[in-house]
Chain A
Amino acid sequence: MTEPLLETRGLSKQFGGLAAVNDVSVAFEAGRVHAVIGPNGAGKTTFLNLLSGEMRPTSGAVLFKGSAITGLTPDRIARLGIGRSFQRTNVFTELTCFENCWIAAQSRLPTSLRFFRPAGRRGDLAAAARDSLEQCGLIDRQDRIAAALSHGERRQLEIAMILATQPELLLFDEPLAGMGYRESQDVIALLRRIAQSHTLVLIEHDMDAVFSIADRVTVLVNGTVLETGPVAAIQSSPAVQAAYLGAEEQP
């Protein structure tokens, strides 16, 4: 087993009396796709928020490359090379696709407290923006305002933005949510391509997608880890079948 890129130790988040995330210890290995599944309200988004710094844990620790990043602000964590998408698409709706990715690439500069030279001269950022749009199949949409995109395209734009920040680890919160079949297939293919050179933490509801992309799976139920293991083991686990998969199959 390789050294984990990201690791949680006894991570918990309490909302009043509710333990949304309860004593979760998981290791995410470098270069792998690690899915986190579980029924609605299981605490998956909250867990991701703890990883990305959107929320502070009540207790426990998050380690990135062996050092604690617990309680760091989202911007600090993003700069370490951890990018994330949101369950509700989160882009700059008033800006064009190109501008969205341009700004995302800009976020990698040590600081943007640079007041004098026109930003338009930064060909490197423009190139990075185009490159990420290209990877996500949005290059022909580059001048379109994000608000004018279809739901699926907007989700792909958010992925393009994350890629433009050149992260090592990507955290996805239900990237396929609300997408049609075709778009889903496109995004699954995109995630596979990204996975070739990145580490992914993937929260996803679509079990077929999870089982086709992921290497390992963690099942979260009521904020607690029910089981973690390789895809095959999770698929055949009776406990998981009973607690989650079985319930999912009945619409």
Chain B
Amino acid sequence: MRPIPRSLLGILLVIVALLAVFPQFVERYYVQLATKIIVMAIFAMSLDLLVGYTRLVSLGHAAFFGLAGYALAVLQRDLGLVSLWTTLPLTLVVCALAALLVGALAIRTSGIYFIMVTLAIAQMLYYFANDTKALGGSDGMFLATKPTAELFGVAIFDLKNRTTFYYFALAALVASFLVARMVLASLFGRAIDAVRCNEPRARALGFTTWHYKLAMFTIAGTVAGLAGYVGAAQDGIVNPAFLSWHQSGQALVIVILGGMGTLYGPVAGAFVLIVLEDVAAGITEHWLLFIGVFVIAVVLLLPRGIASLPLGDFAGRLFGRGARKRAAAEPGDD
């Protein structure tokens, strides 16, 4: 993994600090919009682990996003579990196991076939949810309550409060980011580098490459599950749209828009795309067209996404660090 330049880490800290105080200064609507952005940011970041870091282009990543939502709903309705402390870990375990299973099938293929297999599996889940009465069919399932967070019988925070929920989502984003960074900086992360750069060479050196691809698929699916859990809890409902290829595709657009293989790029991408959607939808009913033009423009003008904007340079000057030198030492495109 190419380490995030220190100067950029500075910027990230500033951004997190801004995000932390932001609800104090805006209307409720924007707190909810920001929460929605954070959910999408976590989801896109998890996809970046596959697309950007492992070169596994999945078009079915929403399978785990939606599965988490349904898992939460089913745990609440059928097992009467309402606590965050039980439903969150259980949901993540369900998503991890599902990702392990789906991954075991999907990583036998590569390239376009991998895209097809992941898409097909997600579509199967979509139609299963859509056609299963017990899961609410096309209407989906309502969540009777937000997850509760009690410690020794005392509520330590209340997710029914929108601002509190926003902080909860923000904590999930920061945690996802830190876990992703840890994993990418570990020995496993180096093996993933090898797989991404040249899988046949990695195998000939002695790496059992499918182990690493499957592990990454599982991690990405689990983080997507976290996003789905937060998303479903926020909306108070989960429906087949959570599982749709549209949802998978949007995450892929965000990853490409933001910059693959950066983690923070998809976060920026989620922010830009959703804010733009919000603004454009308020101006014109042809907003989808507008978004399309914007995405094309970014991809053409910034092939490596928003993350390739010289933000690091700027921060370097701001913080007086050697970001420019570092950027100059980076190799260009082939």
Contact = CB atoms under 8 A, between A and B. Distances in A.
**Size range of the interface on B?**
20 to 34
A158 to B, nearest CB: 9
A92 B215 CA distance: 21
B107 to A, nearest CB: 15
Looking at A54, A91, A107, A109, the one whose CB has the most chain B CB atoms below 10 A away is A107
Given A94-B197, A115-B182, A107 B207 contact: yes
A104 interface: yes
A98 to B, nearest CB: 12
B180 to A, nearest CB: 11
Contact of B204 (A90, A94, A109, A118): A90
A182 interface: no
A15 interface: no
B109 to A, nearest CB: 17
Interface string A56-100: 000000000000000001111011000110100011111100010
A90 B185 CA distance: 24
Interface stretch (B65-73, B112-120, B186-194, B221-229): B186-194
Contact of A119 (B189, B197, B211): B189
A114 B186 contact: yes
A108 B201 contact: no
B201 A120 contact: no
Contact of B194 (A103, A108, A113, A148): A103
A102 B198 contact: no
Given A113-B211, A161-B205, A165-B205, A90 B189 contact: no
Contacts of A106: 187, 190-191
A118 B183 CA distance: 8
A95 B197 contact: yes
A13 to B, nearest CB: 18
A207 to B, nearest CB: 27
Given A79-B206, A104-B205, A120-B185, A90 B200 contact: yes
A139 B52 CA distance: 30
A94 B188 CA distance: 18
A133 B233 CA distance: 54
Contacts of B189: 119
Given A78-B205, A111-B211, A122 B187 contact: yes
B contact patch SS? helix
Looking at B186, B206, B209, the one whose CB has the most chain A CB atoms below 10 A away is B206
Contacts of A84: 204
Interface residues of A, number: 41
Contacts of A83: 205
A215 B215 CA distance: 45
The 3 closest A-B pairs by CB, nearest first: A78-B206, A112-B191, A107-B206
Interface of B: 182-183, 185-191, 193-194, 197-198, 200-209, 211-212, 215, 331, 334
26 contacts: A73-B203, A75-B203, A75-B207, A78-B206, A79-B206, A86-B204, A91-B201, A92-B193, A92-B201, A93-B197, A93-B198, A93-B334, A94-B197, A99-B193, A103-B193, A107-B206, A113-B188, A113-B212, A114-B186, A114-B188, A115-B183, A118-B182, A118-B186, A119-B189, A145-B331, A147-B334
Given A99-B193, A103-B190, A112-B207, 8 more contacts: A75-B207, A93-B334, A95-B197, A102-B190, A113-B211, A115-B186, A118-B185, A165-B206
